[in-house]
Structure 1
Amino acid sequence: MERQVARCAGLDVHKDEIVACARISDPGGPGRVELHTFGTTTRELLALRDWLTGLGVTRVGMESTGVFWKAPFHILEDAVAECWLLNARHLRNVPGRKTDAADAAWIAELVEYGLVRPSFVPPQPIRELRDLTRYRRAQIDERTREAQRLDKVLQDAGIKLSSVASDVLGKSGRAILDALVAGTTDPVVLAELAKGQLRKKIPALQEALTAFFTGHHAIIIGEILSKLDYLDEAIDRLSTEIDRVIAPFADEVALLDTIPGVDRRMAECLIAEIGVDMTVFGSAERLASWAGRCPGQHESAGKSKGGRTRKGSKWLRIYLHDAARAASRTKNSYLNAQYHRIKARRGPAKARVAVEHSILVAAFHMLDRGEPYHDLGADYFTRRRDPNRHAQRLISQLDALGYDAVITRRTDQPTDTKAA
């Protein structure tokens, strides 16, 4: 094999120590290997950086071990010409004696001969945005769990508020809950706290609030409401900070916001996961493959043995899932037509993944070209067919139902009933 880099290093990263192996190949001389063990404190990481730069290392590869790779990567990415984060699945060694030094030497050898590819690591501003959007999503999910926990306690007390009010945490629901926590249990008094459209349901509300609510329930619900208030404030603070961090990418956010199913918050999350520079992926196909939103390939002896999608990024998969669900409900759009067309043949799960793939491919081209989303239209799949063959197919279906149909082709173009 041909050596691709003369001075490289492999790092076996752990929580408390890093084993580094440097491979040095000088022109006209024998190559040498140097091993060294460092700690993971900042002082030790700076010593690692100085050791690598002193040896003239131009490419460093490290395994993506949990979150432990982040600190050394941050310090080395500006000091070394190429700092590679490597997928652990691509680093499997032959069975045998396994030591940290052997693992570091194996990583260094793979990097030296170009037998591995680096994983995508976005630039620092995108990484900061990613941390914020992921933590905000975690808080939103926690708020959802807490709201579900609230309804469980209410059901335990025999209060059927969620059966009458569409939003238990709306203005009316929150006023009733606060009164319950304060000690008011009279259903007539509680029902009078209803506001707006809920006042039309006061008799049903009185029936739903007739229960055996005790001080035990009041304590738990009071704590849940306090936590919900804290989570609402935390989400607002995070959203404010995200608005500040994403300001340099306002144009890209506005572009992605034009995709059906993608609002501003979803656009922020997509940019946080894939960045704005599409040259790192090269093509929309490679981006979809990296994200695990396209069929896999497993062929042996000329036979295909399944096309299971790879895992990809968990967070990007969550965001695309939400966007695809929203897009599938957007009427008169290409994505809606695509979803229902595939759903009829392959089921809702495969149809949703296909829509996720379409959204991701569209995002790639939009960010690459700086162009807004162009919807192909809900009738795209009808328009691309041969009109004569499609008409003949419809006649055959009518004939199978027992109807005789005679059709003639109009000379004028059909009017657009949707526009009317």
Structure 2
Amino acid sequence: MGYVGDIGESVVTDIPFERVSTTMCPDQRGIPIEMMEDAMTKRKQINLELTHPNAAGIDIGSASHFVAVPADRDDEPVREFKSFTVNLNGLADWLEACEIDTVAMESTGVYWIPLYELLESRGLTVYLVNARHVKNVSGRKSDELDCQWLQQLMTFGLLSGAFRPKDEICALRAISRQRDMLIRYQARHVQHMQKALAQMNVQLANVISDIVGETGQKIVRAIIDGERDGHILANLKSNRIRASKDEIEQSLVGNWREEHLFALKQAMLLYDAYSERLNECDRQLETMLAALQVHKVEIRQKKRRSNVKNSPKFDLRAHLIGMCGVDLTQIGGIEVTTAMKVLSEVGADMSRFKSAKQFASWLGLCPGTKISGGKMLSGASKRTANRAAQALRMAAVSLKSSQSALGAYYRRLCGRLDKAKAITATAHKLARLIYAMLTKGTEYVDKGQDYYEERYRQRVLHHLTVRAQKLGFNLTPAPKTV
């Protein structure tokens, strides 16, 4: 049994711990601790209010969905519905019969999409929530309990819905993602061609940077057609190739084995097949973008030429300007394909984001706030698979050798931060510029690297002057030397 006593006077009382009352231990102001604890409890107490009394929760699955409604709406408040369309219609009918107006569901794979679209078409407000934000208490994991947990959280307004653009932007996003997927698949067959050539010791990739470029395709297709003379193959080179004809001819001396030639032919056929599918995607994108033209803006010629690989075959820049009213490619590092990725993921309407800070937070490009005990534990940005954020990070990397103000900004950050942080910070700046252009309709004007460096110099001088004055000194410029 433990006892309490005054440590300073080494006096031990005979009162055991079990009998000590908090009223017997007042603080220095003479206020009993029991009264202080009651006051703190009342001050910290959170009153949960019913914000969505007609809310339902749905646990999404591949084969079936579990739905929970308030207990007073049905004798069986938790039901299971299969994922067939007829069952989804029955689910929506049951929710309408229970007078449900708000639904919360987790974003599980792609299984939520049909039900989400159906419930929205019925006029229900659907909240698509992140599964990480609604994790239940340990030991309470089941489909029935998950849907009830979602329903309770939604009832008290503790859930926030994920951003989902308008239907026409969702359709544009789907085709854009399909096109990106085809490009990745096509790139794999380029690697197969490189492998087949390397196995025959045909070192074409060492003298030509792109074997599926103009010169590379001419040579590879001639090899597939049966040409083996290196001199004839070397004459197919374009004037833009830096390597000489002799170097190309030497690289084309190899061991022409039939099995590797067969693999080379197969890879080229598959490459061509994906090229045809990409052309179909380009035509579909052009049609969809033409339907989204809401601004009539004069298209100005770009000051810098940009030949982006794998860009669509139509005038994508003009279509994007007509869609959002501004030219995002005027921002340093933002090529037409980058602008397409951002606009296809978000759209031109920024009304869902109240500020540039919220837009950057949704992209996952702002610092985190992990605080405990009054101390900042971590400021790392959250991990996200946001495609728009990935595109902006790639745009930030491309500013490494840019002579623009953004290029100078990125290089200065790289000088005092590690590269990953510098990339994220620069991508954050690009996101804020895009938000400002889309919300205000203003054009971006790049004032150049020298302007940025001079502004940075003036800021440094101002801070040094203020610091010197606080220390009782004055800054005087050094005399100019002739």
- Please indicate the TM-score interval, normalised by the length of the shorter structure: 0.7 to 0.9
Specify whether residues 263 and 200 from structure 1 end up closer, same or farther in structure 2 by C-alpha distance, changes over 3 A only: closer
Letter of the 2:430 partner, please give it. Answer: I
Is residue 2:455 matched to residue 1:380?
no
Match among 121, 125, 129 for residue 164 of structure 2: 121
- Contact in 1 for aligned 2:68/2:147 (Cα 8 Å): yes
Map Cα deviations across residues 184-216 of structure 1 (whole Å, 9 max, x no partner).
223233223334355971221221111112111
Structure 1 residues 191 and 56: alpha-carbon distance in aligned structure 2, compared to 1, 3 A threshold: same
Q: Which has the larger radius of gyration?
A: 2
Deviations for 1:268-294, whole angstroms, at most 9, x for unmatched residues? 210111222212121111111111111
SS in 2 for 1:9: strand
Q: Find the aligned partners of 2:222 and 2:66 in 1 and give their Cα distance.
A: 61
Asked if 1:370 is matched to 2:441, the reply is: yes
- For 2:243 and 2:334, locate their aligned partners in 1 and report how far apart those are by CA, in whole Å: 36
Match of 2:340 among 268, 274, 277: 268
Separation in 2 of the partners of 1:284 and 1:391?
27
**Which whole-Å CA distance do the structure 1 matches of 2:463 and 2:248 have between them?**
56
Q: Do residues 45 (structure 1) and 117 (structure 2) align?
A: no
User: Which amino acid in the other structure matches residue 266 of structure 2?
Assistant: E
Partners of 2:326 and 2:279 in 1: CA distance: 21
Alpha carbons 2:341, 2:391 under 8 Å: kept: yes
Q: Which residue of 2 aligns with 1:10?
A: 57
**3-state SS of the aligned residue for 1:20?**
strand
User: Structure 1 CA distance, aligned partners of 2:208 and 2:145?
Assistant: 63
What is the deviation of 1:174?
A: 1.8
The within-5 A match list for 1:18-97 is: 18-23=65-70, 34-97=77-140
Aligned residues: 393
Q: What is the SS of the residue equivalent to 2:231?
A: helix
Could you say if the C-alpha distance between residues 254 and 235 of structure 1 is closer, same or farther in structure 2, counting changes exceeding 3 Å?
Answer: farther
Deviation at 1:106, TM superposition (A): 0.5
Residues 40-49 or 75-84, more deviating: 75-84
Find the counterpart in structure 2 of residue 292 from structure 1: 364
1:380-401 Cα distance to aligned partner (Å, 9 max, x none) = 25315437938999xxxxxxxx
Structure 2 letter corresponding to 1:99: S
Q: Does 1:349 align with 2:396?
A: no
Q: Structure 1 residues 408 and 62 mapped into 2: Cα distance closer, same or farther (>3 Å)?
A: same
Give the structure 1 partner of residue 314 of structure 2.
none
Deviation at 1:134, TM superposition (A): 1.0
Alpha-carbon distance in structure 1 between the residues aligned to 2:250 and 2:167: 56
* 8 Å contact from structure 1 (residues 328, 335) kept in 2: no
Could you say which residue in structure 1 is the equivalent of 2:245?
Answer: 202
Identity over aligned pairs, percent: 29
TM-score, with length taken from structure 2: 0.76
Deviation at 1:356, TM superposition (A): 0.8
- What residue identity is the alignment partner of 2:348? V
Residue 372 and residue 257 in structure 1: after superposition, are their counterparts in 2 closer, same or farther (change >3 A)? same
C-alpha distance 316-387 of structure 1, shift in aligned 2 (>3 A): closer
- Does the 8 Å contact 2:289/2:323 carry over to 1? no
Structure 1 match to 2:479: 407
Which aligned runs of 4 or more in structure 1 are off by greater than 4 angstroms?
197-200, 390-393
Identify the range of structure 1 (174-183 vs 85-94) with the bigger mean alpha-carbon deviation. 174-183
CA distance in 2, matches of 1:279, 1:388: 37
| Aligned residue among 300, 306, 309 for 2:381 | 309
Match of 2:218 in 1: 175
Report the equivalent of 1:320. 392
Q: Distance in 2 between matches of 1:198 and 1:285?
A: 46
Moved more, 236-245 or 338-347: 236-245
Q: Is the 8 A contact 1:132 1:238 kept in 2?
A: yes
Q: Deviations over 1:218-262 (max 9, x none)?
A: 111111111111222222221221122123152417432322222
Among candidates 245, 255, 258, match of residue 330 of structure 2: 258
SS at 1:279's partner residue? coil
TM-score, normalised to structure 1, is: 0.87
**How far apart, in 1, do the equivalents of 2:479 and 2:275 lie?**
61
Deviations 1:366-412 (A, max 9, x none): 1112222243542325315437938999xxxxxxxxxxx95359xxx
Pair 1:106-2:153 in alignment = no
Question: As a proportion of its length, which structure holds more helix?
Answer: 1
Structure 2: any 5+ residue segments left out of the alignment?
1-47, 294-321, 466-476
Residues 195 and 255 of structure 1, relative CA distance in 2, 3 Å threshold:
closer
CA deviation string 1:86-129 (max 9, x = no partner): 11011111112422111111100000001111111111111111
Q: 2:273 aligns with which of 213, 217, 230?
A: 230
Mapping for residues 236-255 of structure 1, pairs under 5 Å:
236-247=279-290, 248-249=292-293, 250-252=322-324, 254-255=326-327
Classify 1:171/1:278 alpha carbon distance in 2 versus 1 (closer, same or farther; 3 Å): closer
Pick closer, same or farther for the CA change 1:392–1:101 going to 2, 3 Å: closer
State which of 119, 137, 143 in structure 1 corresponds to 2:186.
143
Q: For 2:168, what is the secondary structure of its paired residue?
A: helix
Give the C-alpha shift of residue 177 in structure 1. 1.2
Answer yes or no: is the 8 Å Cα contact 2:182–2:278 preserved in 1: yes
